[in-house]
Amino acid sequence: MTKNLVLAILLFVSLGSVADATVVVHLDVSEVPELADWGNKAKELIEEWHQRTSNLIPTKGFDVPTEVWLKIRKSNRGIAGTSGARITVSSGWIQKHPEDIGCVYHELVHVIQDYRRRVSGWLTEGIADYLRWAIYEGKSQDWFPFRDKPQGYRDSYQVAGGFFLWLESDRCPGIVNKLNTALRKRTYKDESFFKEETGHDRRALGGLCQR
Ligand SMILES: [Zn+2]
């Protein structure tokens, strides 16, 4: 095969994968053009994982956002944040931790959750970190931090992520999708959801989640 033919095939394959993406990503690196490569990698991450992640937490009749805005902000403060379908990442964080492309995956989950109202932080962040660390990063249960105290699993982020992995793999497969759907439909009730799904009171679950 000639070199040009190989290049043409590679170009075709890469154009094909972008055309197949179920999401349109608007990347803005105008404040920090030197981070364009990182921004493009993050854009590809979103194109690759948008549909996969949407498939993991589907809700009948609910359409996830298919347009995402990704902006790298010139700032030394914070890591990343999401408002609606707009993800912002701080340039200072990327410069210190260029390997942390997975923070964009966590924000992509927030875009897909699309709760459109305030939800308890440990639920929103726990689902995002369960999907990031257990599915996207492929970490096992042992990797997740554990708080040995009543309701310690609500300590948000990775702790709650590990709690959801434990529920999914041990007690209650499918619970993350049910929880996410209840949050989207506004039918979630703090006092009854976990009791109905797991058979255990929310307060007792922390004691069962020993490892
Ligand atoms: Zn978050």
Domains of the chain (ranges; CATH) run 21-113 (3.30.2010), 121-208 (no CATH)
Contact 176, 57 (CB under 8 A): yes
CA of 86 to the centre of ligand 1 (A): 13
Q: What whole-number distance in Å separates Cα of residue 143 and Cα of residue 71?
A: 31
Residue 181, token pair as written in the block:
């759907």
CA of 125 to the centre of ligand 1 (A): 5
Residue 85: CB atoms within 10 Å: 20
Q: Which of 185, 47, 163, 43 is nearest to 114 (CA)?
A: 185
Q: Cα angle vertex 78, ends 91, 44, to 5°?
A: 50
Is residue 88 classed as helix, strand or coil in its secondary structure? strand
Give the pLDDT of residue 23: 97
CA of 183 to the centre of ligand 1 (A): 15
Sheet holding 80-83, edge to edge: 24-28, 67-73, 86-90, 80-83
CA of 9 to the centre of ligand 1 (A): 39
Q: Which amino acid is at 35?
A: L
CA of 195 to the centre of ligand 1 (A): 26
CA of 129 to the centre of ligand 1 (A): 8
Q: What whole-number distance in Å separates Cα of residue 8 and Cα of residue 24?
A: 24
CA of 75 to the centre of ligand 1 (A): 18
CA of 204 to the centre of ligand 1 (A): 26
Q: What whole-number distance in Å separates Cα of residue 141 and Cα of residue 12?
A: 40
Give the pLDDT of residue 211: 57
CA of 164 to the centre of ligand 1 (A): 15
CA of 128 to the centre of ligand 1 (A): 6
Sequence-ordered list of residues with C-beta below 8 angstroms from that of 104, at least 6 positions apart, any chain: 42, 45, 46, 70, 80, 87, 89
Cβ burial of 114 (10 Å; 0-12, 13-18, 19+) is middle
Q: Cα angle vertex 111, ends 110, 115, to 5°?
A: 70
CA of 130 to the centre of ligand 1 (A): 11
CA of 12 to the centre of ligand 1 (A): 36
Contact 144, 161 (CB under 8 A): yes
Tens digit of pLDDT at every position of the chain (211 positions):
555 555 454 444 444 445 567 899 999 999 999 999 999 999 999 999 999 999 999 999 999 999 999 999 999 999 999 999 999 999 999 999 999 999 999 999 999 999 999 999 999 999 999 999 999 999 999 999 988 887 788 888 999 999 999 999 988 999 999 999 999 999 999 889 999 999 988 777 877 776 5
Give the pLDDT of residue 112: 98
Contact 69, 28 (CB under 8 A): yes
Single pTM value for the model: 0.89
CA of 108 to the centre of ligand 1 (A): 9
